[in-house]
Amino acid sequence: MGESEIEPDVKGYLTLIDRNFLEAKNRISRMDLKWGIWSGRMNRGISAKIKAGGLSKEHITRLQLVSSYWQTMSILLELHYKSRLGFIGRKKRLKEEASEIKKAIMEGVLNARTD
């Protein structure tokens, strides 16, 4: 599945997560209200879409993966907040994990892993 076939809501969520992460990195904790307000709305929106039904299995899986991507980016945000220079190994692993999740979303879940 190519990027052009990804549902607009899924692309929008990924853009929202990435944009807010870059704005918040090294400045706020994931526990901060600024991070919590938009992400809470996003997560409630994802849950409501899944519960409402009428979505394909692939769309539901991508929405669930968006939640996993958000969780990973939230943990990464917290590590950046706690220490700009510390946690280098954990930050690297989380960045790699986030990239794999995003790749799974954008390229299709079954084609995500190449190793």
What is the spatial distance between Cα 115 and Cα 98, in angstroms, rounded to a whole number? 16
Hey, where are the domains in the chain?
A: 3-109
DSSP state of 112: S
The tens digit of pLDDT for each residue in 67-108 reads 999 999 999 999 999 887 788 999 999 999 999 999 999 987
Residue owning tokens 């929008």: 12
Whole-prediction pTM: 0.86
In the predicted model, what is the mean pLDDT of residues 48-54?
94
What pLDDT does residue 109 have? 63
DSSP state of 53: -
What is the spatial distance between Cα 33 and Cα 98, in angstroms, rounded to a whole number? 23
The tens digit of pLDDT for each residue in 2-40 reads 544 889 999 999 999 999 999 999 889 999 999 999 999
What pLDDT does residue 110 have? 53
